[in-house]
Structure 1
Amino acid sequence: MKTLLLIRHAKSSWNDPDQDDFDRPLNKRGKQNAPEMAGRLMHKGMVPELIISSPAKRARTTAKIMAREWKYPKEAILLEEELYLCYASTFLKVITKIDDDFDVVAIFAHNPGITDFANYLTEEIRIDNVPTAGIFAVEADISSWKDFDRGHKKFLFFDYPKQEMV
C-alpha cells in the first residue's frame, strides 16, 4: 500500500501586484494555516516519509513549514520544476519516479492542476476546488509507485483550514 497526500500551497500574498507569480510569498493566514494542517495530518497518524514540492516560493515555503512540524529535514524536500502550474497528467510523471522505499508521500503544488488530479484519482468523491493549504489523501493498492496509475485507489480524506477538524 502507498499513500499519496496532495497538498495545495497555503494562502499567498498579493500585496505586490508587480511581483512575479513564481516568487509570491505566503501571507499571514498562509503562515498560520500551514502548521495547523501539518498538525492535523499528525493527528491522523499521517506523516510523509518523502516531500516533493513545486519550486515556486509559496509551495516551497508551505512544504518547509509543514516539514518543520513533522521534524522532516527541509534540505530533504525534493523540488520538481514540473509541478509549477502543471496539468493533472504531470503528477503521474512525478509519482512514477518515486522510490518504492517510501510509503507515504506528500506532493505540494498548485491549482487548477491539483484539483484536476484529485478528481482523476477516485470516483468516490468529486471536489470543486482544493483550497489553499487543503489536503486530499488517497491510498493505492500497489507496492511500486510505477503502478500508481493502474492501481486501485481508495479515498482517505479531504481536509482544509476552514473545515472543522474531524
Structure 2
Amino acid sequence: MKILLLMRHGKSDWNAAFGHDHERPLARRGVEAAKMMGRFLSDAGEIPDAIITSSAVRADQTVRLASDAGAWGVSLRVTDHFYNTRSEAVLREVRDEPEDTTKLMIVGHEPTWSLLLSSLVGGGHHPLPTAAVARVDLPADTWADLELRTGQLRWLVTPRLLGKVITNGS
C-alpha cells in the first residue's frame, strides 16, 4: 500500500509585490496555517517519507514552513510540473517516485488538487481550502502501479477545523 498526502499551499498575499503569479508569497495567515498543519501531521504520526512541491513561491514556502514546524527532516523535490497544470502531469511525477517511499506528500494548487483527489478516490467533490491536507490510501505496491479510482480518502483536515479543535480543547 502507498499513502499520498495532498496539501494545498497556504493562503497567499495578493497585496505583496510580485512580478508573476508564480512569485506570489504567503500571507501571514498562510504562514501560520502551514506551521499548524506541520505540527498536526507530526503529532498525528503522519510525517511523509518524501515531498514533491510546486516551484511556485507560495507552495515552496508552505511545505518548508510545515516541515520546519513539524521537524520532519525529509527529502524535498521541487518541480515546475505542479504549477498551472493538469492531474495527468501530477500523476506522471508521482508515478516516478522510488518504491521505497511509502508515504508521499505533494504540495500544489487548486483546482488541480481537488480534481486529482476526486479522480483518485473515484468521484465526489473534495475541495481543498488553503493549507488543507488530505490522506489517500492507495492499493499499489509501487508508485508506478498507481491507478485512478482505487484510492480511499482516509481524512481531509483544514486549518480552520484544526483551529476549532485546538481552541475548544477537544
TM-score strictly above 0.5:
yes
Deviates more, 1:9-18 or 1:92-101: 9-18
Deviations 1:112-149 (A, max 9, x none): 1111101111137532x211001111011111000012
Q: Supply the distance in 1 between the matched residues of 2:140 and 2:4 (Cα, whole angstroms).
A: 12
CA separation of 1:124 and 1:87: change in aligned 2, threshold 3 A = closer
Corresponding residue number in structure 2 for 1:123: 122
RMSD: 1.9
1:29 aligns with 2:40: no
The amino acid across from 1:108 in the alignment is: V
Q: Supply the distance in 1 between the matched residues of 2:15 and 2:102 (Cα, whole angstroms).
A: 39
The amino acid across from 1:94 in the alignment is: E
The answer as to whether partners of 1:23 and 1:57 remain within 8 angstroms in 2 is: yes
The amino acid across from 2:140 in the alignment is: I
The amino acid across from 1:61 in the alignment is: Q
The answer as to whether partners of 1:52 and 1:79 remain within 8 angstroms in 2 is: yes
Equivalences for residues 62-101 of structure 1 within 5 A: 62-73=62-73, 76-101=75-100
1:3 aligns with 2:3: yes
Aligned residues: 164
Q: Supply the distance in 2 between the matched residues of 1:87 and 1:150 (Cα, whole angstroms).
A: 14
Corresponding residue number in structure 1 for 2:134: 136
Question: What secondary structure sits across from 2:19 in the alignment?
Answer: coil
Q: Supply the distance in 2 between the matched residues of 1:150 and 1:60 (Cα, whole angstroms).
A: 26
Q: Supply the distance in 2 between the matched residues of 1:93 and 1:148 (Cα, whole angstroms).
A: 10
Q: Supply the distance in 1 between the matched residues of 2:68 and 2:3 (Cα, whole angstroms).
A: 20
The amino acid across from 1:11 in the alignment is: K
Q: Supply the distance in 1 between the matched residues of 2:21 and 2:73 (Cα, whole angstroms).
A: 26
The answer as to whether partners of 2:82 and 2:108 remain within 8 angstroms in 1 is: yes
Identity of aligned residues (%): 26
1:111 aligns with 2:110: yes
Q: CA deviation at 1:88?
A: 1.4
Structure 1 residue ranges without an equivalent (≥5): none
TM superposition outliers: structure 1 runs of 4+ over 3 Å: 16-19
Corresponding residue number in structure 2 for 1:51: 51
Q: Supply the distance in 1 between the matched residues of 2:76 and 2:18 (Cα, whole angstroms).
A: 29
TM normalised by structure 1 equals: 0.90
Corresponding residue number in structure 1 for 2:146: 148
Return the structure number with greater helix share.
Answer: 2
Structure 2 residue ranges without an equivalent (≥5): none
Q: CA deviation at 1:73?
A: 4.0
Q: Supply the distance in 1 between the matched residues of 2:125 and 2:84 (Cα, whole angstroms).
A: 21
CA separation of 1:51 and 1:112: change in aligned 2, threshold 3 A = same
